[in-house]
Amino acid sequence: MDCFILHGGPSAVGSVSPCSSPFIFSPLQATSEPDADRRGYAVWVSEIMLQQTQVATVIDYYTRWMQKWPTLQALAQASLEEVNELWAGLGYYSRGKRLQEAARKVVSELAGRMPRTAEELQKLLPGVGRYTAGAIASISYGQATGVVDGNVIRVLCRLRCIGADSSSPAVIDRLWDMANVLVDRSRPGDFNQALMELGATVCVPKSPLCGECPVKQHCQAWRRVEKELAFASQKLFGKAPPVPDVEDCGVGDCPLCPPATEPWDSSLGVTNFPRKAAKRPPRAMRTATCVLERRGCHGAPEYLIVQRPSSGLLAGLWEFPSVPLAQDLQEEKEREELADHLQAWMGQPMAAKGLQFIGEVIHIFSHIHQTYVVYSLHLDGDVILDPALSPSRWVTEHEFHASAVSTAMKKVLKAHEKQRRKESSPAKGSKRKRGAKAPGAGSPCPGTQLSLRAFLRAPTAP
Ligand code: SF4
């Protein structure tokens, strides 16, 4: 076979990688690609993109990425800004950054040659973990090494009735041992992908298709269900069958068995496995953000965006001027914090009351429940921004969407545009046209948008 498929990434124990609509690489990019470094690079990019992201989402990103940077050398020459722009919307932005850093390392320190084994890949390339290393090495270089992703965890836990927390070190180590033993020595890449595909299409989290499963005869979870069914049916006819065993395990302090407090639940069948410890709820954060708008030279609106620091959450991405808020602040205080932040940008006194409240936008990052408290401010003159602060620029709507901005910021702009449409629609009750001067400049009232000049004139205290 001259092609391979994009399969799910290393996570998603409880989700399915939608392999039923696989993206087929061209043979030149896949296993028949004679250039081993290009082959490894293609698999590497797809694996990094697929971490925490569904195949359907990745296909377009992958295609554009490979068109723009078809080789490691091309990627090594790209700027972080270009990488962030192409990655925008894919989430987990540090992945793109580290991919590019690693490409630079391969070019500058390894003479452009990809490491050929899972051990070297993991050791030498930033951002390449055990799963990604195993996938690249087995698919691209034929190394007989296993992989363990969310789909494989599910299949193996069911095959061997492993009911302890599937994220515990004892279970993870055991699953890797099993994957490395099971992997087909002659076709490791195909075997690994087949195992992941089995988890994605047959041994799915809910309602697995055990009747169609090609490995059901080897599956302890399935056998247990079958025994229970036989037991129930014999009981119905008054026979006294032996109590079903629990296969080879389930006693003592086995680190792989279900804890005594969570025994096998017959109503769940094979979906007793795998089990995960309860997730910690995401941390709640509030951020005030301001859509600063002005009329561009052709009358179309332009927005001010600023660049985030080069490290930390959403590193290097662009956003509307924003400031983190403490929890439980009064609405008035939140406005003041944002006004103070903008004042630092513009070097002039700002009146918090001049900011128009747009609404709240929720965005869930992997570990953060972020609430953006969105305000807007229309500027009718130019502003001098302090060049010592973060880089900033004015962009049209089109440029905004083409920039390295997060999905969260796109939601913020959408909320702002929705509010503008509402205001400009007579049917919705607001008579004020977009861009019209706010009434009562000099005596601003909450919720009314002011021009910058009026905003700067507005009193800072009620
Ligand atoms: Fe999964 Fe059922 Fe197959 Fe076992 S028999 S591996 S539980 S689909």
Who wins on pLDDT, 309 or 110?
110
Ligand 1 atom nearest 199 alpha carbon: 1
More confident residue, 427 or 374: 374
Residues pairing with 288 in the sheet: 323, 373
Which region among 143-157, 236-250, 287-301, 378-392 has the lowest average model confidence (pLDDT)? 236-250
Q: Is residue 101 scored above 90 in pLDDT?
A: yes
More confident residue, 295 or 320: 320
Whether pLDDT at 212 is above 50 = yes
Helices and strands, number each (H, E), in the chain: 15, 7
**Contact (Cβ atoms closer than 8 angstroms) between residue 150 and residue 8:** yes
pLDDT score at 93 = 86
DSSP symbol at 221? H
Question: What pLDDT was estimated at residue 67?
Answer: 95
Whether 204 is in the pocket of ligand 1, judged by its Cβ within 6 Å, is no
* Mean pLDDT in residue range 91-104: 92
Q: What angle do CA 325, 329, 331 make, to 5 degrees?
A: 100
14 Cα: distance to centroid of ligand 1 (angstroms): 15
Name which residue sits closest to atom 1 of ligand 1, judged by CA.
Answer: 203
Instruction: Write the Ramachandran bin of 439: left for phi over 0, alpha for psi from -120 to 50, otherwise beta.
Output: beta
* Closest of 245, 151, 133 to residue 203, by C-alpha: 151
User: Residue 184: which of 220, 217, 139, 149 has the closest Cα?
Assistant: 139
User: Which two three-digit tokens encode residue 293?
Assistant: 């708008």
pTM of structure:
0.73
102 lines ligand 1 (CB under 6 A): no
**What is the residue-averaged pLDDT of the chain?**
82
Residue 382 — pLDDT band, cuts 50, 70, 90? low
What's the pLDDT at 27? 31
Give the residue from 267, 221, 270 showing the smallest Cα distance to 246: 221
Asked whether the predicted pLDDT for residue 184 surpasses 90, the reply is yes
Cis peptide before 274 (omega within 30 of 0): yes
Q: Identify any residues that bridge with 284 across adjacent strands, giving them in sequence order.
A: 369
Distance 31 CA to ligand 1 centre (A): 29
Contact between 270 and 284 (Cβ < 8 Å): no
What is the atom index within ligand 1 of the atom nearest the CA of 214? 3
More reliable by pLDDT, 203 or 462 = 203
Give the Å distance between the CA of 183 and the centre of ligand 1.
18
DSSP 354: G
Q: Is the CB of 135 under 6 A from ligand 1?
A: no
Amino acid 454: pLDDT? 41
**Residue with more model confidence, 229 or 125:** 125
- Whether the per-residue pLDDT at 96 is higher than 80: the answer is yes
Which of 207, 213, 273 should be mutated for ligand 1, with most atoms under 8 A from CB?
Answer: 213
Q: How confident is the model at residue 380 (pLDDT cuts 50, 70, 90)?
A: confident
pLDDT for position 22: 35
**Position 252 confidence tier, pLDDT thresholds 50, 70, 90:** low
- By percentage, how much of the chain surpasses pLDDT 90? 56
131 CA distance to ligand 1 centroid (A)? 22
Q: Which pLDDT value is given to residue 300?
A: 87
Q: List C-alpha distances in Å: 430 to 283, 357, 369.
A: 37, 15, 32
* Parallel, antiparallel or unpaired: strands 322-325 and 356-364: unpaired
**Which neighbouring-strand residues pair with 306?**
319, 392
Confidence (pLDDT) at 350: 77
| Residue appearing with tokens 């747009």 | 358
**Position 157 pLDDT exceeds 60:** yes
Residue 241: pLDDT band with limits 50, 70, 90: low
Least confident range of 291-300, 305-314, 349-358, 446-455: 446-455
Ligand 1 neighbour 213 (Cβ under 6 A): yes
Give residue 271 CA to ligand 1 midpoint distance, Å. 9
d(CA 145, CA 156): 16
Determine if ligand 1 sits within 6 Å of the CB of residue 221: yes
- Probe residue for ligand 1, chosen from 156, 178, 203 as the CB with the greatest number of ligand atoms within 8 Å: 203
Beta pairing, strands 322-325 & 318-319: unpaired
Location of structure tokens 């709640």 = 284
* Ligand 1 close to Cβ of residue 219 (< 6 A): yes
Instruction: Mean pLDDT check: name the lowest of 147-161, 270-284, 421-435.
Output: 421-435
Is 410 strand, coil or helix? helix
- Using a 6 Å cutoff on CB, does residue 215 contact ligand 1? yes
Local structure of residue 373 (DSSP, 8 states): E
Classify residue 82 as left (phi > 0), alpha (psi -120 to 50) or beta: alpha
Segment among 232-236, 290-294, 307-311, 415-419 with least mean pLDDT: 232-236
pLDDT exceeds 90 at position 119: yes
What are the catalytic residues? 47
DSSP state of 242: P
How crowded is residue 206: how many other Cβ atoms within 10 Å of its Cβ?
7
For residue 435, which of 294, 271, 298 has the smallest C-alpha distance? 294
* Band (11; pLDDT cuts 50, 70, 90): very low
* Rounded distance from Cα 248 to ligand 1 centre (Å): 18
Q: Please, which pLDDT band fits residue 32 given cuts at 50, 70 and 90?
A: low
What is the spatial distance between Cα 255 and Cα 110, in angstroms, rounded to a whole number?
A: 41
Between helices 150-159 and 169-182, what is the axis angle to 10°? Answer: 90
Question: For 150, phi and psi rounded to 5 degrees?
Answer: -60, -40
- For 127, other C-beta atoms within 10 Å of its C-beta total 17
Query: Is the pLDDT score of 310 beyond 90?
Result: no
The single-letter code of the amino acid at 321 is: P
Q: Are 341 and 320 in contact (CB under 8 A)?
A: no
